[in-house]
Amino acid sequence: MLSPDLMNVGLTGETKEEIINELLDLLMKSGKIRDRAKALQSLLEREERMSTGIQDGVAIPHAKTDAVTEMVACVGLKPGGMDFQSLDGRPSQIFIMTLSPTSGSGPHVRFLASVSRLLQDEAAREALISSSGPEDLYRRMVQ
């Protein structure tokens, strides 16, 4: 599901919407998003209900949407971080975006569980943040 071309180590957005758009542009490279506008709408509606900024500099923007027929995911880093309205108030630096079809939840559950387990580990988070480029970030994600 992940590949080096779905990694960005230098997100430039300064607002939540800009970051989501930047990540969505990255996800478009998967070639699996049928309707970008619908995907964006699903992501923004999800954020409006409840921020996906979690804690420890991690945010996992996600949504279920008809814009995809299979799960897609990408990873972005924002050096220095930005306010993603996390409960702990810390700026988010690691962004993992995923879109899943509205039906079926197996891959969605496994992916969220897998990345959450990884990002619980402070050393793993630091390793991701210090990635030198997309290839390096990909390698550290799948290690």
29 or 110, CB closer to another protein?
110
| Residue 36 φ then ψ, to 5° | -65, -40
Distance CA 17, CA 127 (A): 26
Marked catalytic residue, from 6, 23, 33, 62: 62
Q: Which residue of 18, 45, 110, 133 would you call a contact of another protein, by CB under 8 A?
A: 110
Stretch in the footprint of another protein (CB under 8 A) among 3-11, 29-37, 82-90, 128-136 = 82-90
Residue numbers 1-40 binding another protein by CB under 8 A: none
Q: Number of residues interacting with another protein: please give it, by CB under 8 A.
A: 22
Q: Is 62 a catalytic residue?
A: yes
Binding site for another protein (CB under 8 A): 50-56, 60, 62, 86-88, 108-110, 112-117, 120
Catalytic residue set: 62
